[in-house]
């Protein structure tokens, strides 16, 4: 097919940038591409690629970095201000699809969120039908107006919805490529580059390798230096002592070596405790204190017990093989709230898994679930409310066969016969702290303990060990603080970890920052210097002990013009709203008889802007007050 446009961007220059379909702009900007140099788009300009008379194909490697809706990759203009007619290939919140002026309909897409990833995007039009392919697979199809028009990259006729990101290997062809041609183009031009760059998540093996994740998939031919430890299928046989092994993969004549260390252990040495993690990390492993050598592989950072939202811990396979009775103890303090994530996961794939989520989206529930038939077959243990951001939680799960119980801070929260045992899943090769078997966000927060016992702990023992007990009062960690539109400045009394969360008026998390302070410099500045944080009206400050990872101090009502807050007042509770808008506050009073929770009082109250109200709720020295915007 003839090429109306063909750019690899290696030599740069000579390209005229356009701000819209009516006129030309300045010179194009270049930077790192998929291969060598690429075109950089900043949301202010695009390129006029050429004219098409009917069927055509537009293809490119693209990495989108702008997070808004309808960011335009390709745009075919067939009209004018007086006669609007167009087709647009867009990234809608990072998910690629296309839409047309006729009917203003976005075509349904099966694509995943591709934000900040290099993907091969191909759009074809033929016979009045448009088709979009991502990485060789068709993701969207629908009617399109196959009329002559001008095709643009990264901008529209009206300069709206321009794309920010990078583009490379751009082509515009005068016919529609077939599905088979696009699949072959992806395999021959894109996959070899990805294969040459691919790195496994880590070099320490505690479970099987998923070789299907490597670009080229089943077409890669593998050879192992030690079949007894790591097979050519990526299956790990646990050695008695840590053993080095090399896996060589060959794809289309190109060979690569991947070196691993298979982590050794002493399975079965401790019959009572299968695994016990604290904060001990050595050489990329979180150390199993049980003596069984069930060490976990740390992927990403794990400083001071913090999983930062970009890191997780790969757990050894086979933890529950033949184990029908067990107790799981998980101690965490999340730095995220109502997010679709797995805090803890034991599974094999997207069909078979068990998970714990500290706070589910929308409903704010603590949830544990198990399934052998994917998300549609999940069977739940649920309790509300879930774990708030910055709240210490001891979650204990016991199982006797298919009967499960879930305890929160020593108190039985839910129980049910779920009909499935984790041991039914065999080796559970996809098991993680902080990660799910899906493409969900990673867990972000402080992790302090995971213990798995091969017996069922009694309710009395769970309460004695894990019931929430008030610690003796201690000196404040924060000696002085300044809150303002430019950010937050803190002076601390001692070594600690400080987290600052930024929320908008809806209570949605905009940004989160973590600082470790120690030695002579006991200060932490959280400047509002990124675009997301500038819209924040709530600053949530949490201080953690650097050794134990426990939350020591929280300033949840440290805000500028923020959400509803409150304080105790003689004879009741005063709740106030410092916002310029109406809001509804949820007020919770938890009353304790000694160390046991004896009563919970919850009510909602609507507050007008800049107003307060007094509530007649019982409040004693043994009570704790929580106020949140609904």
- 3-state SS assignment for residue 179: helix
- Cα(499)–Cα(389) distance, rounded to whole angstroms? 11
Taking alpha carbons only, the member of 144, 151, 155 closest to residue 101 is 144
- Cα(153)–Cα(167) distance, rounded to whole angstroms? 9
- Cα(396)–Cα(369) distance, rounded to whole angstroms? 14
Q: Count the neighbouring beta carbons within 10 Å of the beta carbon of residue 595.
A: 13
Contact between 169 and 34 (Cβ < 8 Å): yes
Strand ranges (DSSP E) for 454-544?
Answer: 478-484, 487-492, 496-503, 509-517, 523-527, 538-544
The phi, psi pair for 333, rounded to 5°, reads -135, 95
- Cα(196)–Cα(249) distance, rounded to whole angstroms? 10
First to last CA, the chain: 59
Contact between 107 and 142 (Cβ < 8 Å): yes
pLDDT at 19: 56
Q: Which residues contact 467 (CB under 8 A, 6 or more apart)?
A: 409, 410, 411, 595, 596
- The rounded average pLDDT for each run of 10 residues, N- to C-terminus, in the chain (630 residues) is 69 61 64 91 83 92 84 83 76 90 81 92 94 96 86 77 89 94 95 95 95 93 97 95 96 94 87 93 94 94 86 96 96 85 95 93 85 94 80 94 94 92 96 94 92 96 82 64 69 84 62 80 77 59 73 56 43 67 79 74 82 74 68
- Given phi > 0 = left and psi -120 to 50 = alpha, else beta, which region is 429? alpha
- 3-state SS assignment for residue 540: strand
Report the alpha-carbon angle 241-246-249, nearest 5: 150
Contact between 195 and 220 (Cβ < 8 Å): yes
Indicate yes or no: pTM above 0.75. no
pLDDT at 8: 79
- Cα(436)–Cα(351) distance, rounded to whole angstroms? 12
- Cα(249)–Cα(550) distance, rounded to whole angstroms? 44
Report the alpha-carbon angle 157-84-131, nearest 5: 75
- 3-state SS assignment for residue 550: coil
- 498, two tokens: 């400080």
- 234, two tokens: 């990526």
Contact between 159 and 20 (Cβ < 8 Å): yes
pLDDT at 551: 66
- Cα(294)–Cα(88) distance, rounded to whole angstroms? 52
Helices (H), 331-488: 459-466
What would the pLDDT profile of 238-266 be if each residue is shown by its tens digit? 999 999 999 999 998 999 999 999 999 88
pLDDT at 85: 79
């Amino acid at each position: 097919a003839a090429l109306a446009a063909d750019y690899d961007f290696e030599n740069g220059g000579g390209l005229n940038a356009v701000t819209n379909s009516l006129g030309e702009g300045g010179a194009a900007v270049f930077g790192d591409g998929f291969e060598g140099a690429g075109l950089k788009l900043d949301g202010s300009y695009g390129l006029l690629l050429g004219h098409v008379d009917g069927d055509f194909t537009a293809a490119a490697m693209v990495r989108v970095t702008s997070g808004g809706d309808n960011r335009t990759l390709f745009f075919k203009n067939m009209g004018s201000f007086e006669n609007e007619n167009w087709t647009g290939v867009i990234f809608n919140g990072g998910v690629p699809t296309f839409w047309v002026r006729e009917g203003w309909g976005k075509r349904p897409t099966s694509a995943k969120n591709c934000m900040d990833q290099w993907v091969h995007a191909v759009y074809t039009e033929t016979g009045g039908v448009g088709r979009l392919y991502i990485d060789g697979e068709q993701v969207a199809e629908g009617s399109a107006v196959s009329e002559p028009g001008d095709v643009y990259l990264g901008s529209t006729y009206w300069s709206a919805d321009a794309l920010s990101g990078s583009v490379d290997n751009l082509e515009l062809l005068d016919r529609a490529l077939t599905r088979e041609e696009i699949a072959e183009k992806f395999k021959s031009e894109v996959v070899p580059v990805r294969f040459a760059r691919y790195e496994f998540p880590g070099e320490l093996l505690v479970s099987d390798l998923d070789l299907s994740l490597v670009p080229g998939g089943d077409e890669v031919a593998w050879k192992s230096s030690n079949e007894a430890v790591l097979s050519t299928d990526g299956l790990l046989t646990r050695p008695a002592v840590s053993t080095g092994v090399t896996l060589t993969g060959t794809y289309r004549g190109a060979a690569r070596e991947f070196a691993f260390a298979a982590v050794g252990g002493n399975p079965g040495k401790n019959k009572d405790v299968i695994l016990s993690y604290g904060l001990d990390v050595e050489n990329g492993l979180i150390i199993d204190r049980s003596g069984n050598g069930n060490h976990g592989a740390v992927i990403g950072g794990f400083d001071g017990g913090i999983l930062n939202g970009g890191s997780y811990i790969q757990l050894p396979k086979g933890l529950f093989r033949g184990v029908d009775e067990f107790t799981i103890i998980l101690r965490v303090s999340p730095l995220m709230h109502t997010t679709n994530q797995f805090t803890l996961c034991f599974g094999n794939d997207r069909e078979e898994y068990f998970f714990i989520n500290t706070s589910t989206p929308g409903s704010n529930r603590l949830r544990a679930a198990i399934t052998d038939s994917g998300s549609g077959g999940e069977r739940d243990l649920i309790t509300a409310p879930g774990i708030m951001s910055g709240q210490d939680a001891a979650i204990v799960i016991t199982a006797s066969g298919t009967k499960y119980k879930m305890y929160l801070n020593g108190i039985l929260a839910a129980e049910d016969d779920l009909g499935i045992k984790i041991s039914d899943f065999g080796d559970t090769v996809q098991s993680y702290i902080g990660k799910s078997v899906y493409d969900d966000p990673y867990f972000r927060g402080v992790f302090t303990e995971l213990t798995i016992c091969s017996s069922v702990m009694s309710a009395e023992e769970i309460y004695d060990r894990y019931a929430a007990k008030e610690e003796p009062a201690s000196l404040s960690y924060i000696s002085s603080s300044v809150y303002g539109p430019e950010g937050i400045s803190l002076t601390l009394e001692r070594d600690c970890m400080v987290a600052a969360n930024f929320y908008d008026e809806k209570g949605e998390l905009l940004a989160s920052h973590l600082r470790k302070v120690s030695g002579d410099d006991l200060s932490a500045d959280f400047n509002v210097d990124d675009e997301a944080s500038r819209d924040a009206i709530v600053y949530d400050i949490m201080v953690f002990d650097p050794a134990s990872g426990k939350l020591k101090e929280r300033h949840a009502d440290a805000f500028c013009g923020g959400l509803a807050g409150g304080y105790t007042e003689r004879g009741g509770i005063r709740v106030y709203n410092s916002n310029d808008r109406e809001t509804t506050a949820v007020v919770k009073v938890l009353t304790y008889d000694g160390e046991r929770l004896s009563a919970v009082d919850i009510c909602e109250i609507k507050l007008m802007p800049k107003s307060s109200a007094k509530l007649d709720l019982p409040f004693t020295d043994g009570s704790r007050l929580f106020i949140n915007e609904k």
